[in-house]
Structure 1
């Protein structure tokens, strides 16, 4: 067995054929993986730093199978999804920039065949992609063709550079000889012990026998003084597509605050590198070497204070308790942990640490909440949130006026502040994900609920979203022609038809006619019990019928309330 670092040119060396064996599964990556892959390639282009794309396992073929036209043949034991995507990506990139000859030079052998030979499942469609001329999409429904068409549509040739990618993307290539048991090696590699966490790596990096006192003051007393504290920092939350611990989120946010300090003069390229969560441990080492003269003391000196502020600010369990009607860190927690907006964490931490006035903090949080909710309502992208919120740290937006100015000045379509008319229209038109709709209604409910309400507000996690006119309305709500039915199907997904209730309705009640759905039947609760006392349901439960006009009327009412809360 031979293992080492390899670039794209090292894996596809012009005279090596890689064969995917017939028994391996078909290509299964989808849009989520393609989007992440493209983002990685854009990052490599911008940062011009080495980027590790994972390991691949290749095995030498027996000499009897070696082709005379190629110097060697390898069977792909592990890595076919990445290798396939890499070739499809380069094919699409070269098609967009009119550089088909460059693709051939990199990935076509002297035999005229592509350097990756696919299994029977994908062979024909892979050949269609490789042989494609011009830059038009290809007809077909397979994942192989889907990947090619996705990259054709989404590659921005100004943000991806072929040479930078070829130079900086790296694999760990494990090369097995003919007699080695690839299954045993594959299983061993995939069942190795638990990886060290970022926190453990940083702890080993920061401390040794010479600074035991610093370890006690800056680490042990902060992260490990009691079982309760350890439990807090080890909580896992979902951010994007992965689970991360709170201690990991802290070190990520803390680093972003450090690198945005203008006095350090961190370059744009380095900031981009330091923003990658997968590089967090390496980013700290690189940052300290480049911008702290190799001294860890400066980072350790600020770390404890920021960690204490983090612990007093961020709490995922806030989603299990009622929240204040006024702008607050509690409501920020619902936005961050309940509605998955973890990119807010660095700026919120910065504000909590550096803005002394609690009143000013509240004004900042009110503006942030308005910004996030407004953009959610109009279905605006979150793609550039990380850049936006770190720029607020860079520009020291430490009061609400400065924050509003910064948001107003950023007229980019990807980060603009939606207007009142757009927000008003969204209540009657936007169909959001259930989690987003639930979040908007919950935050609105908590803001407009009378202080002397007869029912208690529960935590965000204690509510579920309900469609008052059910999605299966055709069974009990009358027949419509096709055009009217299509309009109704869309209308029932908008805010005027949505409610947060304390527990899910029984299926027989959920899909029943309006009177039964309101009152329930027998021991099965209806909306009258599950939505009792909700301010956002004002007047709804008194309705004797429920239809499109009622949905529109309630949407108007909700929009007016929302514009007073999120001004």
Structure 2
């Protein structure tokens, strides 16, 4: 490893090209986070030069370079940027901006001071002049806009080349996703033009001071690797402990730096197998609790837990990944690593999307309301197993039953990470089958992990306060939607498949605010304050009068399953607090759900009907979320 301190001019003056490896992340520096501070540093050095004082160097940090073997005399010397691509790319944008500023201020003669640091010469000896003429070649995600930007000869031409980024008045659009190269050139060139035109000195003096500040006063530590140096180890040392890179950046670099050692064509592997992971779907951040990570990190986290059969520390994801792929004999080759991630990615995408008819997509759709991401490693392990879809479906049905029954029975989900990881370990030892899964779930005991029995579940469906109560709106809507499907399967309906019901309201047939239009069975009307008083008496443990018992009985029935249904929003709002017969007339006109059709034939709705419907839906729930022995 060789280290030397170089000015910007020394870095770029030779006939060479700095290449950002294709698998590294795109350019991410911005005006707010880096450019503004760097501009201040440059103009400060330029001002010192104008005062006649020699400024002290300003260090931009280090760049780590890996020289590539040159095949023959043709072409330019190539160096891969192992670390420091953001700095070197920014410097190219700054030099290009100086060139634009010189042209805008009538100082084109000074271009030759910066042009040798922007372009390689003698195109006749280049293998590919369209690429090799640039001093820096970015990753493929940045190449198109990089080329356009550096080919621009005048600031005004930026408006033509990137017309979508500008308003009719020629200003950069706000709240618009601009190419980073355009934003950089627009920011730096605009400020450089102002600097050159500032009063106190001639345009020529200002421009020369600016050029010298960039070319001579900005310095970097250039570290060139030698044959025995491990580029990945150095990359990890520089970046692995910082917050700048995601774990997936380190993992991607690890895979492709190792591909060469495995005798694998890294570019082909990237293009054919890894490139989909660069899509916005996988780079988009997803929040779980207080943690916000790219979706690809969550995939790798779940994959490692499924493969290693243990909890994986998300904060040490890269180390956990490297530990997994290097341990064992033989270790995982680069192509095997990417193949593994692709195999899990296909299942993971269907799991969290919940679309389609595959077993894991159906599982994802059914559990989406319950926010049980701790089940993902187990779900993925089952999905990639060499078993039939029917077997997977049976296993997933048991898992859904386990989650739904516990929610309806008011049991905590806080121990699910341990429960599902223990199941993963058990299945990894015994083999993945519905018999082993069911046996494991049935063996769980204690409030934190047991699978509720039929009698407990039916009792909860019949009498427990579910909404509001044990279930939030998402869970309650999901439960009613699945019950609608079960009811359709029990009759000869014209539409056996349940449509999307997510836009429907959860309705209390007997409304929560029942006091005005729903007298008690003895004909008495009750006020809100009367009902509140009953609640306080119950809390105090005092004895209720007969009428207060009727009020309490009704209050308890309101939130039970038998009193809940799904309705069109407008129908629900129009008849929300009115008497049952008016609500029934609305149902006759507007509903086609099996949840509601039987209500059309009823003349009244009270606690007795609520209980009967609770029992009906409870038995449907037993079929829907069955518990095998």
* Aligned partner of 1:412 among 446, 449, 468: 446
**Per-residue deviation, residues 276-301 of structure 1 (Å, max 9, x unmatched):** 43443343345557x459x9736862
Which structure 1 residue ranges, 5 or more long, are not aligned?
1-192, 261-270, 520-525
Matched, 1:473 2:532: no
**Per-residue deviation, residues 75-133 of structure 1 (Å, max 9, x unmatched):** xxxxxxxxxxxxxxxxxxxxxxxxxxxxxxxxxxxxxxxxxxxxxxxxxxxxxxxxxxx
* Aligned partner of 2:412 among 367, 373, 381: 381
What TM-score results when the alignment is normalised by the length of structure 1?
A: 0.54
Helix, strand or coil at the partner of 1:208 = helix
Aligned in 2, Cα 1:216/1:297: closer, same or farther, shift over 3 Å? farther
Contact 2:506–2:564 (8 Å) recurs in 1? yes
Contact 1:328–1:365 (8 Å) recurs in 2? yes
What TM-score results when the alignment is normalised by the length of structure 2?
A: 0.49
Residue 275 of structure 2 corresponds to 224
Matched, 1:402 2:436: yes
Helix, strand or coil at the partner of 1:330 = helix
* Aligned partner of 1:297 among 332, 335, 342: 332
Residue 399 of structure 1: how far off its partner (Å):
0.8
Contact 1:367–1:404 (8 Å) recurs in 2? yes
Contact 1:219–1:304 (8 Å) recurs in 2? no
Distance across 1 between alignment mates of 2:505 and 2:271: 40
Residue 280 of structure 1 corresponds to 317
* Aligned partner of 1:459 among 495, 500, 517: 500
Residue 449 of structure 1 corresponds to 488
Helix, strand or coil at the partner of 2:556 = helix
Contact 2:415–2:449 (8 Å) recurs in 1? yes
Helix, strand or coil at the partner of 1:393 = helix
Residue 623 of structure 2 corresponds to 564
Residue 455 of structure 2 corresponds to 421
Distance across 1 between alignment mates of 2:302 and 2:320: 12
Residue 350 of structure 1 corresponds to 381
Contact 1:339–1:439 (8 Å) recurs in 2? no
Aligned in 2, Cα 1:205/1:302: closer, same or farther, shift over 3 Å? closer
Residue 200 of structure 1: how far off its partner (Å):
2.7
What pairs up with 1:481-500 in 2 under 5 angstroms? 482=534, 483=548, 484-500=550-566
Aligned in 2, Cα 1:352/1:499: closer, same or farther, shift over 3 Å? same
Contact 2:306–2:424 (8 Å) recurs in 1? yes
Helix, strand or coil at the partner of 2:412 = coil
Quick check: 246-255 or 346-355, which moved more?
Answer: 246-255
Q: For this pair of structures, how many residues does the alignment match?
A: 348
Quick check: 460-469 or 339-348, which moved more?
Answer: 460-469
Aligned in 2, Cα 1:444/1:296: closer, same or farther, shift over 3 Å? farther
Matched, 1:249 2:305: no
RMSD: 3.4
Residue 474 of structure 2 corresponds to 435
* Aligned partner of 2:614 among 547, 552, 555: 555
Residue 390 of structure 2 corresponds to 359
**Per-residue deviation, residues 324-349 of structure 1 (Å, max 9, x unmatched):** 6xx93233112343331211211111
User: Max radius of gyration: which structure?
Assistant: 2
What pairs up with 1:91-170 in 2 under 5 angstroms? none
What pairs up with 1:302-381 in 2 under 5 angstroms? 302-312=337-347, 314-315=349-350, 328-381=359-412
